């Protein structure tokens, strides 16, 4: 498995007591160390050049928004668009690097050197809309990875599975009129949790190629391991088999775990291993083993480390065991 990370991710300073804090990276790197995985930088990839990455970001995000974000950081503002999107002068560069690592991971999954890749970066991305920041997110890293696979590698069908406890409103909205991306999300029921989107009836824009290419699976507060396995076995995996993606992307949030302070699901580390094994099996069967993980949420560092360890170990054992 190829892992990408840039040191600037730790310099995205969100301030004291913010859930999406630099210490999350310590938990991520402990998980990588336990698994014997070494993160590489963007050096040697086209995404080492920030201008190249920004140009690609503009394929999904409005240029005026990108410039607003750059200037907000340069001017020393404390947040972007909403107060929960805390920023510092380094935040723009960190978000560009996070997008670059997701793009590098997408490229790596298509290379002959390995089919599994992981972007071990922050800030996360799945709440970011085309023209605004939301929910700790600035650029939609997973959506950019999907766009890269389609635009540069010629794929016609890409699937994104999002198991963050919060619905990925930005990812859904970027692709809801398109048929070349299938978006599947398990999350705590939107009537009970931010951002309030992701109802079952949200299935893509009617009358467009995207109609039917969105599958939302809301879970009631208190749902645990059994409900997660039922959702993946009964709904997620069959939807993947019907769509037959040529690559599988995973928005991996570890905040559905019982210890997480921001939500009310009751998943365990074993839940992440079980659902990740199902996803790896689907990638092997349908997508030549091409599977890319992009880090999203997870705000209890112990739960983040353990859940990520189980996720990456399951992928490795299924694809290489």
Range 213-222 burial, b when 16+ CB lie within 10 A, else e: bbbbbbbeee
* 125 neighbors 97 (Cβ within 8 angstroms): no
* 3 neighbors 281 (Cβ within 8 angstroms): no
Cα of 33 vs its chain's centroid, Å: 21
Task: Specify the DSSP element, H or E, that contains 276.
Answer: helix 269-286
Intra-chain end-to-end CA distance of the chain, in Å: 13
Q: Is 127 a catalytic residue?
A: yes
Candidates 12, 61, 127, 187; catalytic one: 127
Phi, psi of 312 (to 5 degrees): -70, -40
- 158 CB-side CA count, 13 A: 27
| Catalytic positions | 127
């Amino acid at each position: 498995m190829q892992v990408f990370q840039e040191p600037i991710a730790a310099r995205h300073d969100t301030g004291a007591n913010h859930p999406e804090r630099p210490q999350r990276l310590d938990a991520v790197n402990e998980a990588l160390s336990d698994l014997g995985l070494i993160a590489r930088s963007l050096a040697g990839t086209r995404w080492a050049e920030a201008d190249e990455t920004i140009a690609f970001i503009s394929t999904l995000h409005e240029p005026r928004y990108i410039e607003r974000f750059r200037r907000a950081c340069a001017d020393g503002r404390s947040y972007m668009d909403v107060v929960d999107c805390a920023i510092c002068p380094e935040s723009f560069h960190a978000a560009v690097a996070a997008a670059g690592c997701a793009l590098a991971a997408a490229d790596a999954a298509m290379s002959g050197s390995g089919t599994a890749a992981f972007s071990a970066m922050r800030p996360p991305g799945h709440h970011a809309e085309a023209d605004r920041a939301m929910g700790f997110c600035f650029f939609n890293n997973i959506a950019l990875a999907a766009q890269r696979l389609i635009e540069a590698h010629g794929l016609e069908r890409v699937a994104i599975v999002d198991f963050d406890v919060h619905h990925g409103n930005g990812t859904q909205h970027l692709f809801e009129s398109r048929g070349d991306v299938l978006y599947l999300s398990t999350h705590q029921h939107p009537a009970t949790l931010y951002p309030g989107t992701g109802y079952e009836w949200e299935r893509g824009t009617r009358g467009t190629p995207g109609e039917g290419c969105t599958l939302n699976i809301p879970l009631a507060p208190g749902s645990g391991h059994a409900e997660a396995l039922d959702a993946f076995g009964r709904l997620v995996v069959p939807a993947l088999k019907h769509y037959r993606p040529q690559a599988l992307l995973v928005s991996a949030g570890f905040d559905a775990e019982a210890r997480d302070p921001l939500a009310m699901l009751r998943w365990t580390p074993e839940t992440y291993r079980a659902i990740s094994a199902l996803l790896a099996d689907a990638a092997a069967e349908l997508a030549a083993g091409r599977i890319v993980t992009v880090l999203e949420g997870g705000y209890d560092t112990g739960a983040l480390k353990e859940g990520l360890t189980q996720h990456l170990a399951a992928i490795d054992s299924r694809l290489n065991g």
